[in-house]
Structure 1
Amino acid sequence: MSSPYRAIFAAPGTRAFAVAGLVGRMPLSMLGIGIVTMISQVTGRYGLAGALSATLALAAAVCGPLVSRLVDRYGQRRVLRPVCAVTVAAVAALLVAVREDAPDWTYFVCVVGAGLTPSLGAMVRARWSAIHHGSPELLHTAFSFESVLDEIVFILGPILSIGLCTAWFAESGPLLAAAFLGVGVLMLTAQRATEPAPHPRGQHHGGSALRTPALAVMAGVYVGTGTVFGAVDVATVAFADERGHKALASLVLASYAAGSCLAGLVFGLLRPKGSAAGRFLLGITLMAVSMIPPLLVGNLWFLAGALFLSGLTIAPTMVTALGLVERLVPRSQLTEGITWISTGLAVGVAAGASLAGRVVDAHGASAAFAVPASAAVVAVGVAVLGNRRLRPAPEREEPHGHGEDVGDANGWAGRDGEWDSREGVA
């Protein structure tokens, strides 16, 4: 492991909560696809399976920020354990309902309960921020590391979930996802020393973090970015199916994730220059440009190469976005702020999958790649129009004005001992 990555783990407890976060994040990529596979296996009704998956995504989009807001106010341990218990119970009830051939409405009730699944990625990133908030370079590397773990989760999760549902018994994929969540939450909440301090009502800024104009812009951009991801998944599967190699779609999509993994690892070793808002806009623009080659390819191997190159733009953009969020929202709302980024992505993924599916049915798989290309252009437009709003929260600004633009100079300036790259002091 290279030196910057060794450095982020120098603080006690960091390895333990990183492992806990990885385990607890597995349901993010396992539960939805596991429910789809389980329902289609047991009932043969893909329409029902898709409706349940969409309901899960919608429930998570609504509940995720609310859970994170409670975490900011009361602490991770007090909130995550009861919420996790409800989620695991809801998944267990769904499995029993499917096994007992219960009415369809019971499935939807259970799936809404499962939508309470807490964002373990946000919880872990909040811990990294609390530990390294005085060292922006280490925080940059930590966020890069977490982005790599996200890609690993999205590579391994569907393989585990679909494989278990088809090779063992239909309910095994969602069952394992719930087990991962329970174990991950217990592991994470057992580590009190690295838990960020809660901000009780008297210290809390009140209301939703989304009222922060800068965060609203970021969430809007990531609805567009999520649309890119969801549409690419559907269009790729359809593209492979049209050419008689549907099974190879997972390998093609793995190349997309592999590109992001590689870029995330390298990006974590670099010391970014320029303003963070400028780097974010550049990243979103490059992501849009990278959606042009998939429109032009004619076979799976060229598509895999095109998506690998596109994947190289993902992790650096995500890392920069999370660094921006860490500066844009009040510290008392940090977990909720990070969760809104994930929520924007989730909403976009659902929309992108739906739109791409309609285009595939009407015009074929190749035409469906116009959906992610168009969504990426919209994301760029939102980022450009909202760029002036990307200002730090008042508490993060320096009184002498160094914090006026997010990441001015080398991207970081702030109070409380945070790094000021122009003066070279901490």
Structure 2
Amino acid sequence: MPSPYRAIFAVPGTRAFSAAGLVGRMPLSMLSIGIVTMVSQVTGRYGLAGALAATTAVSGAVLAPQVSRLVDRFGQRRVLRPAAAVAVAAVTGMLLCVRLGAPQWTLFAFAAAAGCTPSVGAMVRARWAALYRGTPRLHAAYSFESVVDEICFIVGPVLSIGLCTVWFPEAGPLLAAVFLAVGVALLTAQRSTEPPPHPVAHHRGPSPLHSGGLRVLVAVFAATGAVFGAVDVATVAWAEAAGHKTAAGPVLAVYALGSCLSGVVFGLLSPRGHASRRFLIGVAAMSVSMIPLLLVGNLPSLAVALFVAGMSVSPTMVTTMALVEELVPRARLTEGMTWTGTGLAVGVAIGSSAAGRAVDAVGAHAAFGVAVAAGALASVVAFPGYRRLRPAPEEGKARANEHQHHQDHHEDRGDGAGWDGTVAQLGG
């Protein structure tokens, strides 16, 4: 492992919580595409499949920030376990309804309840931020977690689609629920690296969404999510039209592979200048990379186009997390990170639903037009909001004072001078 990545694992417990986060995040790449594949297998209706996936995503957009807000106040262990239990029960109920041919409204009810799935990625990143806030190691940690995200998206769709089509239709979402239960159990067992909860008094201020910069990030992520949702549905439909539905999983894995490789390289760099400029470049690159999807003529060319498109994803995600850490108060960091995931979930819902309707009405190829339009919208939102991505001078000064107080606190306790003493204390 290259040295910047090796360095972030110097603190005891970091390998354990990151590995648990990998397991717990698998549903991120498996559940939505599993629902689409399952329902299209059983009913042949992509519109219904996209609507159910959209329902889960919209519900997550509403419930996940509330779960994260409770995590910031009461701690990960006390909140994540009951939230994950409800989500697993809801997914199980939806699968039973599909198996038994229950009325459609029951599917939507359980899909909505599944939205309380906690944002495991935000929980893991909050642990890294607690360890490495204000140091170059945080960039490497966020880059590593972006790579982990993409590993999930390389493996998850292949597993989910493959199990649904080869074994039985409900197999993919069922395995996603198992991963969630196991991952949350493992993560919450890691007590030494859990960020301390913040008392209620720290949560009496305005919501993190009071920050204009965070609102810009959430809006851009909504458009980005629409790209992802449309690409998922359009790829499955395209592969089925070509007579190779099981190939949709590997093709989507290639999309994630492009992002994974770019994330590895990005983590080895030492970015200069403010993160807002890198964010704009990433969003613009993602938007332009959608256009070739309208020109593909077969599955290999689609895979190549998606690989190239994926190369802009991880750097943009890493940069976004850095911006959130800068814009949001420490006591609300998990909630702030989850709001970006909320924007992504809303976008996935819109993109999945719109692409599903496009497939039913026009055909698989036209559904990629939804991804192109969503990519263009992301740029339209990002560029006018560029100036909001820097904290106000007084906010920046307060954050610097907060970080200095954090350092002085550890030095006063005899933990050692500078950052190395702080990390040693946190890891001990």
Q: TM-score, normalised by structure 1?
A: 0.87
Equivalents in 2 of 1:395, 1:21: separation in Å?
35
Q: Which moved more, 1:19-28 or 1:233-242?
A: 233-242
Q: Partner of 2:152 in structure 1?
A: 153
Q: Structure 2 matches for 1:208-247, cutoff 5 A?
A: 208-247=207-246
Structure 1's 109 and 262: CA in aligned 2 closer, same or farther, altered over 3 A?
same
Q: Partner of 2:333 in structure 1?
A: 334
CA contact (8 A) 2:146 2:260 kept: yes
CA contact (8 A) 2:25 2:120 kept: yes
Q: Partner of 1:25 in structure 2?
A: 25
Give per-residue Cα distances to partners, 1:204-240, cap 9 Å, x unaligned.
2434322221111100011111122222233334444
Q: Partner of 2:315 in structure 1?
A: 316
CA contact (8 A) 2:47 2:357 kept: no
Structure 1's 267 and 207: CA in aligned 2 closer, same or farther, altered over 3 A?
same
Give per-residue Cα distances to partners, 1:320-356, cap 9 Å, x unaligned.
0111101111111111111111111121122223333
Q: Which amino acid aligns with 2:293?
A: P
Helix, strand or coil at the partner of 2:281: helix
CA contact (8 A) 2:226 2:350 kept: yes
CA contact (8 A) 2:87 2:116 kept: yes
Q: Partner of 1:191 in structure 2?
A: 190
CA contact (8 A) 1:220 1:382 kept: yes
Q: Partner of 2:370 in structure 1?
A: 371
Equivalents in 1 of 2:168, 2:349: separation in Å?
27
Q: Partner of 1:383 in structure 2?
A: 382
Structure 1's 250 and 334: CA in aligned 2 closer, same or farther, altered over 3 A?
same
CA contact (8 A) 1:398 1:414 kept: no
Q: Structure 2 matches for 1:1-400, cutoff 5 A?
A: 1-41=1-41, 48-135=48-135, 137-361=136-360, 364-392=363-391, 397-398=396-397
- Structure showing the higher helix proportion among its residues: 2
- Any gaps of 5 or more consecutive residues in structure 2? 408-417, 420-428
Q: Which amino acid aligns with 2:123?
A: M
Equivalents in 2 of 1:167, 1:252: separation in Å?
17
Structure 1's 89 and 219: CA in aligned 2 closer, same or farther, altered over 3 A?
same
Structure 1's 151 and 395: CA in aligned 2 closer, same or farther, altered over 3 A?
farther
CA contact (8 A) 2:54 2:352 kept: no
| Paired positions, count | 409
Higher relative contact order (CA 8 A, sep 6+): 2
Structure 1's 97 and 345: CA in aligned 2 closer, same or farther, altered over 3 A?
same
Q: Which amino acid aligns with 1:159?
A: V
Structure 1's 356 and 177: CA in aligned 2 closer, same or farther, altered over 3 A?
closer
Identity of aligned residues (%): 64
CA contact (8 A) 1:284 1:317 kept: yes
Give per-residue Cα distances to partners, 1:50-98, cap 9 Å, x unaligned.
4332221111111111111111111111111111222222233334444
- Any gaps of 5 or more consecutive residues in structure 1? 404-412, 419-424
Q: How far does residue 290 in structure 1 lie from its aligned partner after superposition? A: 1.9
Q: Which amino acid aligns with 1:327?
A: E
CA contact (8 A) 1:327 1:396 kept: no
Structure 1's 317 and 29: CA in aligned 2 closer, same or farther, altered over 3 A?
same
Q: How far does residue 395 in structure 1 lie from its aligned partner after superposition? A: 7.7
Structure 1's 314 and 130: CA in aligned 2 closer, same or farther, altered over 3 A?
same
Structure 1's 362 and 336: CA in aligned 2 closer, same or farther, altered over 3 A?
same
CA contact (8 A) 2:328 2:336 kept: yes
CA RMSD of aligned residues (A): 2.7
Structure 1's 334 and 178: CA in aligned 2 closer, same or farther, altered over 3 A?
same
Helix, strand or coil at the partner of 2:384: helix
Q: How far does residue 258 in structure 1 lie from its aligned partner after superposition? A: 1.0
Q: Partner of 1:408 in structure 2?
A: none
Q: Which amino acid aligns with 2:191?
A: R
Equivalents in 1 of 2:45, 2:12: separation in Å?
50
Equivalents in 1 of 2:388, 2:292: separation in Å?
32
Structure 1's 20 and 247: CA in aligned 2 closer, same or farther, altered over 3 A?
closer
Q: Which moved more, 1:375-384 or 1:291-300?
A: 291-300
Equivalents in 2 of 1:34, 1:289: separation in Å?
28
Equivalents in 1 of 2:100, 2:175: separation in Å?
19
Equivalents in 2 of 1:256, 1:60: separation in Å?
24
Equivalents in 2 of 1:218, 1:155: separation in Å?
25
CA contact (8 A) 2:224 2:347 kept: yes
